[in-house]
Structure 1
């Protein structure tokens, strides 16, 4: 029987925890009904402070993480808080125990923004990982040594697993069930929970949400100019030429604050505009291309597919409000 530890971190998202428990409990139920050995022994792990506040959660007794037996895998749920730094500080005491379990042979996995706690452990340095697509820029800035694959639904690098946002958690669960219980059980669970097993990409769920919570007025000016004139300007130089600093300086400061260059910012602004038109209008494709600031249809389709993970037509078919 595999010991599965689900960490009840401070600020954990209840939906994330409930989904994990529901899936593993269903696997156990199916195995018992088939008169096979129940594969998972499920633990809810928590820090001493959390246990003091909550003796029981979701019908499970809580086990102090520092006293837990060796787990086969410990899973970290998503966080509810948007203040990730505060959540990491609140869960700081968990990190040494997670590292100790890993060093003894346990696997560690995270769902959605739970990757931030895994990242804070240092174990992901030099390894691939993913997180919620809209949290990827913040993750990349916080953990530059991690090889972030923001478009991926699930990653595995040795004994470290991560998943993307929300329903991507189910794909990591399927991945683990496939490893521990075989493909037949994974398919059965996929059918019960209506999970599309073939989804490997999450980039088309993203929304461009650039950082504007800063005090650099030159960067803020460049951002406003791009957002107000993206459909008219032929080059980024046209948009930043009157900003009172050198091109090299504005590019350096822009990337330091937003995480991307002005050219990438312009491109993502245009792609986001195109996505909105594809979702909310019935405009012809050529109109959308022109309205988004592109003159070359071939170039637009190439950039769109690279950024979004599907063609403009596929995106419209999937997300258009009818």
Structure 2
């Protein structure tokens, strides 16, 4: 029987814990019916400094970390929306225990924003990771040694796993079930929970908004020009033609301030505009392309798929009202 430890972190998101318990309980019931024995020994691990904790499930009595000496798999749930740095400070007591479990051979998985606590253990250093699309920049900024992949739904890097936001939890759970149990069990679970298996990207869920969290007035002026004139197919040279900066220095300053190059910034603005037009279904795809500032249909489709993960037609079919 595989020893499964689920952390009851302070400020955990109840729906995250509920999803983990529901899936693994379902798998255990499946194995009980077919083999007479459950597959997972499920333990809830309370915060080391909390003697009492609200029970998310009446079937389980949360255990102290001192009572759990070994795990095969440790799961870190998502945090509630809020101040993640504060949440990390309140959960630092979990960090040495998770490291200890990993040192004894346990694999570790985080779900959504639980990736921040996993990163705080150091186990994600030089490993690929993902999290909720709205939190990827913060994860990368706070933990620069983590290789953050914003687009993927699930990462699996040498026994350390992460998932994107919301329903991506189920995709990581299916991945774990296929690895720990078998493909048949994963398919059975996918059918029970009506999960579309093998989704590879979460980028089409992202809403990108330009960053102004810097103090470079020249870059701010350039951003405003790009946002006002993107439909005119404005170039970088036209953006800076009367600004006191060379093209080379402008590109360096712009990327330092915003995290992307000027060309990437223009591309993201245009693709976000195209997404909104496709959602509103006010024009055909060629008209959307032109309104977004493109005139080459092939280049537009390729860039849209690269950034969004879907073709313009697929995106409209998925999100048009």
TM class by shorter chain equals over 0.9
Per the alignment, residue 5 of structure 2 pairs with 5
Q: CA deviation at 1:84?
A: 2.1
Q: 1:21 and 1:116 mapped to 2: Cα distance? A: 21
Q: 1:246 and 1:97 mapped to 2: Cα distance? A: 52
| Alpha carbons 1:28, 1:39 under 8 Å: kept | yes
Q: CA deviation at 1:218?
A: 3.0
Q: 1:83 and 1:266 mapped to 2: Cα distance? A: 31
Count of residues paired in the alignment:
320
Q: CA deviation at 1:277?
A: 0.3
| Alpha carbons 1:129, 1:147 under 8 Å: kept | yes
Q: CA deviation at 1:67?
A: 4.1
Q: 2:116 and 2:308 mapped to 1: Cα distance? A: 24
Most deviating of 309-318 and 269-278: 309-318
Q: CA deviation at 1:143?
A: 2.2
C-alpha spacing 1:81/1:246, structure 2 compared with 1 (3 Å): farther
Per the alignment, residue 202 of structure 1 pairs with 202
Structure 2 residue matching 1:62: 3-state secondary structure: coil
Give the unaligned 5+ runs of structure 2: none
The reply to whether residue 299 of structure 1 matches residue 311 of structure 2 is no
| Alpha carbons 2:45, 2:62 under 8 Å: kept | yes
| Alpha carbons 1:164, 1:202 under 8 Å: kept | yes
Q: CA deviation at 1:15?
A: 0.9
| Alpha carbons 2:17, 2:56 under 8 Å: kept | no
| Alpha carbons 1:32, 1:38 under 8 Å: kept | yes
Q: 1:69 and 1:241 mapped to 2: Cα distance? A: 65
Q: 1:55 and 1:314 mapped to 2: Cα distance? A: 44
The reply to whether residue 58 of structure 1 matches residue 57 of structure 2 is yes
TM-score normalised to structure 1 length: 0.93
Q: 1:264 and 1:189 mapped to 2: Cα distance? A: 40
TM-score normalised to structure 2 length: 0.93
Per the alignment, residue 18 of structure 1 pairs with 18
| Alpha carbons 1:4, 1:43 under 8 Å: kept | yes
Q: 1:90 and 1:245 mapped to 2: Cα distance? A: 46
Q: CA deviation at 1:187?
A: 0.9
What root-mean-square deviation, in Å, do the aligned CA atoms of Structure 1 and Structure 2 show? 1.8
Q: Deviations over 1:168-203 (max 9, x none)?
A: 110111111112221111111100000111211111
The reply to whether residue 73 of structure 1 matches residue 85 of structure 2 is no
Q: Deviations over 1:93-138 (max 9, x none)?
A: 2111111111110000011111111112221111111111222222
| Alpha carbons 1:137, 1:259 under 8 Å: kept | no
Q: CA deviation at 1:246?
A: 4.2
Most deviating of 255-264 and 120-129: 255-264
Per the alignment, residue 107 of structure 2 pairs with 107
Q: 2:8 and 2:225 mapped to 1: Cα distance? A: 44
| Alpha carbons 1:279, 1:316 under 8 Å: kept | yes
Q: Deviations over 1:123-177 (max 9, x none)?
A: 1111111111222222222222222222111111111011111101101111111
C-alpha spacing 1:308/1:162, structure 2 compared with 1 (3 Å): same
Per the alignment, residue 272 of structure 1 pairs with 272
Structure 1 residue matching 2:135: 3-state secondary structure: helix
Structure 2 residue matching 1:251: 3-state secondary structure: helix
Per the alignment, residue 129 of structure 1 pairs with 129
Give the unaligned 5+ runs of structure 1: none
Q: CA deviation at 1:7?
A: 1.0
Q: 1:70 and 1:22 mapped to 2: Cα distance? A: 23
Q: 1:298 and 1:200 mapped to 2: Cα distance? A: 23
The reply to whether residue 41 of structure 1 matches residue 41 of structure 2 is yes
Per the alignment, residue 308 of structure 1 pairs with 308
| Equivalences for residues 81-100 of structure 1 within 5 A | 81-100=81-100
Per the alignment, residue 162 of structure 1 pairs with 162
C-alpha spacing 1:248/1:46, structure 2 compared with 1 (3 Å): farther
The reply to whether residue 181 of structure 1 matches residue 181 of structure 2 is yes
Q: 1:226 and 1:87 mapped to 2: Cα distance? A: 37
Q: 1:215 and 1:66 mapped to 2: Cα distance? A: 48
Per the alignment, residue 231 of structure 1 pairs with 231
